[in-house]
Amino acid sequence: MHASVGFIGLGRMGLPMAHNLLEAGYYLSVFNRTAARADGLCAQGATRAATPQVVAEQHDIVLSIVADDTALRAIAFGDSGVLAGLRPGQIHVDMSTVSPDVSKELDRQYRTKGAHFVAAPVFGRPEAAAAAKLWICPAGPPEAIERCRPVFESLGQGVIVVGTEPHLASCLKLVGNFFVVAAIETLSEALTLAEKSGLKSETVLALIKALLPVPLFQGYGTRMAHNEFSPPGFALRLGIKDVDLMRRLADQAESPLPLADVAHHNLLAAHARGRGELDWGALITVVRELAGLEPGDSSSPESD
């Protein structure tokens, strides 16, 4: 018999994750700021909670995945937040991409109530969330992580335990997302250079398949070459937030990230052009414009 789990945040990632927990047999109650997002889950057997506090009062394990630090603080510390409903021994697992500082803050506050905080950010796009193929990277008290392991196994293909300090998982998530945005910037420049040199995008994609046979380069490369930015796997406006967090972490560590600075510039420019709700692979549209191309024109005759 599976335990009961509370789930907060039913966005592009959270909704399929919550669905998978239902499919795995968990008794589930859910909260989302826009309550209608829970309608489908409730029709399948989930219970709608009125506040994050109610979620915490009903379950020993509470999961959340929200947009940013502000949203996490709101569900944790706001009126009728998770903290108000926590009891000793309870676990709040946050799976969002947030700053290490906010993870430290939640850990510190929850300890005062004898509760546990686990930061467990995930790697994977919404389609990976739907297929329960996420990679989950928890950090926090070892006993809390072990209690949550069956939940993690219902959501993902693997678990990478980061350590005992929750903020380290937040650091790892930012390092991992730097890999992604660096790949997007690299692909943007390479695909644009190839087109301006007379190469077809399919030829470049064949080279990527041969030299870089990994989902990161093949998936983003294909979508970017074909201008497939909607619906977004990860919205460009949220990409700006993530790169801001990376750069802040780099400043604190005195570890320069010049490629992140370039990507940040291009993401901001794309957002200023009204592309904030597109996938963050739309960064390529700005690189194309800088090179004198139309933002969405990916056709090019192949040179002899």
- Give CA separation, 239 vs 180, 184, 228, 264, 286, in Å: 10, 11, 17, 9, 15
- For the question of residue 196 being annotated catalytic, the response is no
What span, in angstroms and rounded, lies between the C-alpha atoms of 50 and 64? 15
Q: What six digits make up the tokens of 210?
A: 């041969």
What span, in angstroms and rounded, lies between the C-alpha atoms of 121 and 242? 13
Q: What six digits make up the tokens of 121?
A: 């950010």
Active-site option among 104, 113, 133, 173: 173
255, 123, 156, 216 alpha-carbon torsion, rounded to 10°: -120
CB proximity list for 276: less than 8 A, separation 6 or greater: 235, 236, 237, 240, 270
Q: 100: cis peptide before it, omega within 30°?
A: no
Pairing verdict, β 156-159 and 134-136: parallel
Q: What single-letter DSSP state applies at residue 60? A: S
Element (H, E) at 193: helix 166-196
Which sequence positions are flagged as catalytic? 173
